[in-house]
Amino acid sequence: MSGAQDTTNNVDQELQKKLKMDTCDGGKEKARLKSQTSPTVQSPRVTGLRQKDAFKAPLPISFNRTTSLYSRSMEWQKTGRGRFLFGPSPNHSFGPKASLSSGTPEPYDGEWRDIGMIDPSNQHLEWHSPPQNVLIIKKHMDQDVTKQFKEMVKWLMTEKVMTIIVEENVLCEELVAFDEDFQTYSQKIKPFKAENGNARPSVDLIVCLGGDGTLIHVSSLFQSQCPPVIAFHMGSLGFLTPFSTSSYKEDIQAVMDANLGLSLRSRLKCQVRRMSESGVDEVESEFLVLNEVVVDRGTSSSVTHVEIYCNGRFLTTLLGDGLIISTPTGSTAYSMSAGASLVHPSVPGIIVTPICPHSLSFRPIVLPAGVELKIIVSTESRNFTPMCSFDGRNPKEMNKTKYLRVTTSIYPIPCISHEDHLGDWFNSLGECLHWNRRETKRTSSFKRQQKAVNGQR
């Protein structure tokens, strides 16, 4: 026992020494310890991983809020350095037939090539084979949307000979189910559900008819790889839906010809975990969110009291109404209403925004996309249970035996760009949010009369 304990203490000292050297030297390569510094120990949890990703000598595990779960992340135990701040490289496969174009320029030489970063302006769609199955997600019980939906279905079936898939409740809508002229087409539509123990129908392309909430609904349906999405504006806001239905035929044809760019909207992987007294860390529920995950006081009137950890490091304690952890896409939603900055979707990052904090100095911050956040109910909080929701759905209860773990997911939502990744975003800022718009100073009536006499405008 003493020998094993000495080995563990030596590993801890080496890790601390390594962290200190990285901090003092700015993380230079010469300050890094070689992998042989501390022996690696194979673990059944990392079967199949590369040797360099294997666990180091295991750290002692106990239910202690300062030495195990809360101050050292799992990545710390795996590598001894914490997480890679650039974030994970996104998955480049989008459904069964689409991927990021192989003609996309390679990342820069040297260190950037190892990171795998690609210029967002060079992201384009590529089809391995012509798309056949189209999933149409529409805003429910809307007469105008349903009319456009039926027109689009007829065109796709007759002229493009494509298979149409819709949600089951769409076929039950009154304007669809009792339209005799549409019966010929509705009978050929496949429901988007598992039947007879089989998986859901394969989807090559997703067409959204609605507003921003419709796209968020798509994200909830595809919790791993998501096919390319073309979103048509038929909702109330339309910040995430740049296409107009007036030219839907040309736009869909351009997508099928792969002549449009892609905007990869990152998502957050959110896990509600439970740590038992025996040290077993279990995932109770997991969701991928496109906008944000929110921790608030729920139905309680007490203040939210939680602790925030980043890569195992204690950051701060929140006393307030709640906390918003959002993606760059979600920075123009709830996070913006709470006072955070607007962040372009191509910027890799995680936005942390307090909701009505007790401390006026607690301002929103933007963290690197590669960090791991943990939200813990404080031991000093009163006997109440805060709630966390994911894109406004799936409310889950938290307590002192549970915590929320948030990281960047490798599965983004590949949205088809109308112009380009910059043009679409700034157009939405101006048209939907009226960003920095104001009335110009009006000319006085006397000056208007003088200009009219002189023939000026």
Query: Contact, 344 vs 328, CB < 8 A?
Result: yes
- What is the Cα–Cα distance from 168 to 186, expressed in whole angstroms? 11
Catalytic residue among 142, 212, 251, 391: 212
Count the Cβ atoms, other than its own, within 10 Å of residue 337.
Answer: 11
- What is the Cα–Cα distance from 384 to 345, expressed in whole angstroms? 36
Query: Contact, 243 vs 263, CB < 8 A?
Result: no
Calculate the alpha carbon distances from 199 to 175, 196, 215, 345 in Å: 29, 9, 22, 32
Query: Which has the closest alpha carbon to 213: 133, 330, 323, 298?
Result: 330
Is 212 noted as a catalytic residue in this protein?
Answer: yes
| DSSP 8-state secondary structure symbol assigned to residue 198 | P
Long-range contacts of 169-175 (CB under 8 A, 24+ apart): 169/140, 170/136, 170/138, 170/140, 173/140, 173/141, 173/146, 175/143, 175/146, 175/147
- What is the Cα–Cα distance from 285 to 266, expressed in whole angstroms? 20
Residue 230 pairs in a beta bridge with 207
State the DSSP H helix or E strand holding residue 315, giving kind and residue range, or none if neither. Answer: strand 313-326
- Identity of residue 229: V
Q: Give the catalytic positions in this structure.
A: 212
